[in-house]
Amino acid sequence: MPNLWITIPDSSLSDEQTKRDKSIKIAQFARACSIFRTKRVYIYHDALSQFEKDDLDLLKTILRYLDTPQYLRKILFPMMHQLQYAGILHPIKAPHHRVLEDIKKAKAGDVRTGVIVKVKGQLFVEVGLGSLVPFAGEGLEGKRVNVKLTSSYPNLKAIQATDEDILDYWGYEVKEVPSLSKLLASVEKTAIIITSRKGRYFKNIETGLAEHTKNVQNILVVFGAPKHGVHEILAKEGASVRPYEYVVNMFPNQGTETVRLEEAVLGTLAILNSTLYS
Amino acid sequence: MPNLWITIPDSSLSDEQTKRDKSIKIAQFARACSIFRTKRVYIYHDALSQFEKDDLDLLKTILRYLDTPQYLRKILFPMMHQLQYAGILHPIKAPHHRVLEDIKKAKAGDVRTGVIVKVKGQLFVEVGLGSLVPFAGEGLEGKRVNVKLTSSYPNLKAIQATDEDILDYWGYEVKEVPSLSKLLASVEKTAIIITSRKGRYFKNIETGLAEHTKNVQNILVVFGAPKHGVHEILAKEGASVRPYEYVVNMFPNQGTETVRLEEAVLGTLAILNSTLYS
């Protein structure tokens, strides 16, 4: 299956009133993304909706926080008001969320997520093994990186891991983009799926999509805002859904007036995963 | 599409700590059921899991409350501690959740959900029109019933509606059953789908299921408990999943350690709806 990317608007929280409820909704996004191995979450600007100024920061911060292994959270997320409700959110428990492990069991080839730190002029990486591990690399101080151990305990050493080293699902990255239409125009080798109540039923495009996705590197699933659909948001940017082959209603014959964004994300990714994963 | 039924355990809330979080989870069940037009929710007893004694009451009460039209809630749900957090839960907004309407617009053929009340020996039905409507029927005092108006304003009269009168999705009923294996043995003309991480991928049973469901009246989707799967729960009752054709893993290659029950319900129903609705 190609890399799964999604994009949601910066107005995603506009239908929640309290920071607590907003935090819970973000955790639902994070869980849905992780269950279905989403690699990238683009947050695009929705110029139509009104929402609180802090919502975007809250969205980015909690999405990134929940994707971060427990042992790196204190380093990467100093006391922040955005994380006031982090304690009540459901954890993700993805493969890169390693628990603190006995360093004696660390061996060459292990891949872990870490943060590069400099001590007395030397680079090390904090990877949740109780001690820092010498890092052979440069220029990444303070950054979160995936590393691979190149020797076993007690002579641990780490280098930056490549995509080929990582066999499991290893979390998502969060990127902010100013315009949805520009994002859609810029992605290459990517099947774009626009979710819309006005779209065709998924069943009717399923076979074509499955065939198409064999020849792409990425799938980008586009979600509208709580108060405005993708059609409207693109129209406001002077663009249109017309160039896109897959404008899809994932919830034919819905029994409720609306499908909420967090429900749409989970339901849509469940359907795509069931169809495209093999 | 046949009637959609689901069954979840009475231990569904065992992984939530507070009444607030339990209430939110129940609302997620209610929303998922309603989006996909679920007609019946069976709550079976899970003899394996430990959970709080009040959880079952909370589950039943909030599920029923959220399915009830606004204008009937005061009559059917007097002040109850189970509804402490009802105010923060996302509403369902299904077709039977009519808003208070101008009685002058009421006309013969309208179907509404009501409660039968007796005033001075006469039966009336409260249907959210501002005034009670004379009800031609008997023996249903205090009960929630679907009624059809048989004449227009100002000579309104109502009778009990039949299934044929109701064209829209009209909510779900909640039923409690003591044993999952007995429930599964008792349902007739019903395709039973057991969700399980140990099951076959949905894609592999999809075609057979779609064919099968053309000849049944109901589909019953079985969900396990937060801490025990359907295999274990049936085994504890001296039964097994073996007699059932559709034991299905709806989330192939999941990126997280677990899929939470509320996520499983929404995701599973989304996949079934996309496949079976036409």
Find the mean pLDDT for residues A56-74: 97
Please name the amino acid found at residue A8.
Answer: I
Please name the amino acid found at residue B256.
Answer: T
To test the contact with chain B by mutation, choose from A6, A22, A24, A35 the residue with the greatest count of B C-beta atoms within 10 A, namely: A35
- Burial of B73 (C-beta count, 10 Å sphere; 0-12/13-18/19+): middle
Nearest CB to A34: which of B32, B201, B255?
B255
- Give just the sign of the alpha carbon dihedral A263, A267, A272, A278: positive
Q: Is the pLDDT of residue A278 over 70?
A: no
Confirm if A221 and A170 have CB atoms less than 8 A apart: no
Distance CA A220, CA A192 (A): 5
| Residue of chain A nearest B278, judged by CA positions | A252
Distance CA A247, CA A200 (A): 6
Q: What local confidence, expressed as pLDDT, does residue A139 receive? A: 85
Q: What local confidence, expressed as pLDDT, does residue A101 receive? A: 76
Chain B partners of A96 at a C-beta cutoff of 8 Å?
A: none
Chain B partners of A24 at a C-beta cutoff of 8 Å?
A: 24
Chain A partners of B99 at a C-beta cutoff of 8 Å?
A: none
Find the mean pLDDT for residues A227-250: 97
Distance CA A38, CA B256 (A): 11
- pLDDT tens digits along B40-95: 999 999 999 999 999 999 999 999 999 999 999 999 998 899 999 999 999 999 99
B99, two tokens = 């808003």
Residues in chain B with pLDDT < 50? none
Shortest Cα–Cα distance, B70 to chain A (Å): 15
DSSP character for A10? T
A95 to B267: CB separation less than 8 angstroms, yes or no: no
What's the whole-number average pLDDT of chain A?
96
Shortest Cα–Cα distance, B251 to chain A (Å): 7
- Give just the sign of the alpha carbon dihedral B87, B93, B97, B102: positive
Confirm if B63 and B30 have CB atoms less than 8 A apart: yes
| Residue of chain A nearest B263, judged by CA positions | A266
SS3 B206: helix
Q: What local confidence, expressed as pLDDT, does residue A176 receive? A: 98
SS3 A207: helix
Task: Catalogue the E-assigned strands of chain A.
Answer: 3-9, 38-44, 111-119, 122-126, 133-134, 144-151, 157-160, 173-177, 190-201, 218-222, 246-249
Distance CA B51, CA B15 (A): 9
Distance CA B105, CA B153 (A): 7
Helix, strand, coil percentages (3-state) for chain B, rounded to 5, are 35, 25, 40
Element containing residue B118 per DSSP (H, E) = strand B111-119
To test the contact with chain B by mutation, choose from A260, A274, A275 the residue with the greatest count of B C-beta atoms within 10 A, namely: A274
A221, two tokens = 């699933």
Cα separations (Å) of B180 from A167, B43, B58, B233, B257?
39, 9, 20, 8, 26
| Residues 6 or more apart in contact with residue A43 via CB below 8 angstroms | A7, A8, A9, A10, A12, A56, A59, A60, A174, A175, A176, A177
A270 to B267: CB separation less than 8 angstroms, yes or no: yes
Q: Is the pLDDT of residue A114 over 80?
A: yes
Helix, strand, coil percentages (3-state) for chain A, rounded to 5, are 35, 25, 40
Distance CA A145, CA A122 (A): 17
- Burial of A152 (C-beta count, 10 Å sphere; 0-12/13-18/19+): middle
B93 to A256: CB separation less than 8 angstroms, yes or no: yes
So what's the ipTM on this one?
Answer: 0.95
Q: What is the pTM of this model?
A: 0.96
**Domains of chain A, CATH where assigned:** 3-92+179-276 (3.40.1280.10), 103-165 (2.40.50.140)
pLDDT band at residue A99 under the 50/70/90 scheme:
confident
Task: Count CA atoms within 13 Å of residue A140 on its CB side.
Answer: 18
Q: What local confidence, expressed as pLDDT, does residue A277 receive? A: 86
Nearest CB to A273: which of B94, B251, B260?
B251
Distance CA B152, CA B133 (A): 11
B256 to A88: CB separation less than 8 angstroms, yes or no: no
pLDDT band at residue A215 under the 50/70/90 scheme:
very high
Q: Is the pLDDT of residue A100 over 80?
A: no
